[in-house]
Amino acid sequence: MDECIPDYKNAKFSFYRYEPSLPLAAVATVLFGITTLIHMLQMFRTRTWYLTALVTGGLCEVIGYIGRILNANEDPGCWTLGPYVMQSLLILLAPPFMAASIYMILGRIIQLTEGEPHALIRRQWLTKIFVLGDVLSLLMQGSGGGMMAAKTQTMIDLGENLIVAGLFVQLAFFGCFVAVAAVFHLRMARRPTPRAARDPAVRWRTYLATLYVASGLILVRSVFRVVEYIMGNDSVLMRSEVYLYVFDTLLMLVVFVWMNWFHPSEIGLLLRGEQPVANGLELIGVKRPKSEGAESLSSEV
């Protein structure tokens, strides 16, 4: 479908119903690039490898908006398939990668507070269950995105339906995760564990608040995407890119920046018996620990 479609606004199907903005795509690429680079530094400095999925999500955002830059440089209606698939698929798949890291963070909060008796799901199963749901959602959305690159309307429709199903799977697992986190929060507030009560450095309420903010923004974005795909290629949501930048780009950027500041790698530092920090940006300056109790990825995933 690389041929030109002069009347792309009223065609039966078009990659875009508007002219993609080069400045907006460039700004999004730069901003996601900066926050992702900071996350990479924070992760490597503190050796919190469970945040690899979060960094991967950031890279997906960066490459996805590069795809929009490439399309924006093309003549309207003559957009090529490669950059379109790049931006459509990678921007779509970035949040599930973020969600995977969020699932792992809750498990570490439970470990840090020694609060497993308050958890609805045992810690060793919690991450596995929700990451499995996340992988299923990723596979469904990725397969749907691949089908939408086909040149037949039947495959495009099937791809859209598979993406919607994948988004519903993501919403279901994410909703259950928020409920599990909320129950743990309430139980901890009523009967704090000795570790949480005696150690002021264990800011478990702050960690959970960070998860709530990130989870809430990802949920809103996912609902927007569900509505967008259900309404179809010629809907009002597809006729202006302002909706994409408000309900996807902006929300995901806030998630990344929020977690730069309230960075969950502090939990990893505390689990290794190291000094906590006032904000996540301080983690960039943390020297590589020399202790033997370094946390490994395999111990939790």
The residues spanned by each domain of the chain are 22-285
Q: Provide the greatest CA pair distance for the chain.
A: 68
Q: Which pTM value belongs to this model?
A: 0.87
pLDDT bucket at 292, cuts 50 / 70 / 90: very low
Which superfamily does 22-285 belong to? Rhodopsin 7-helix transmembrane proteins (1.20.1070.10)
Half-sphere exposure of residue 238: CA atoms within 13 angstroms, side-chain side: 22
| Chain-centroid distance, C-alpha 69 | 21
Instruction: Report pLDDT for 243.
Output: 95
Tokens of 136: 């299923």
- Give 115's contacts (C-beta < 8 A, 6+ positions apart): 109, 184, 187, 188, 193, 195, 196, 204
pLDDT tens readout for residues 53-83 = 999 999 999 999 999 999 999 999 999 989 9
pLDDT bucket at 158, cuts 50 / 70 / 90: confident
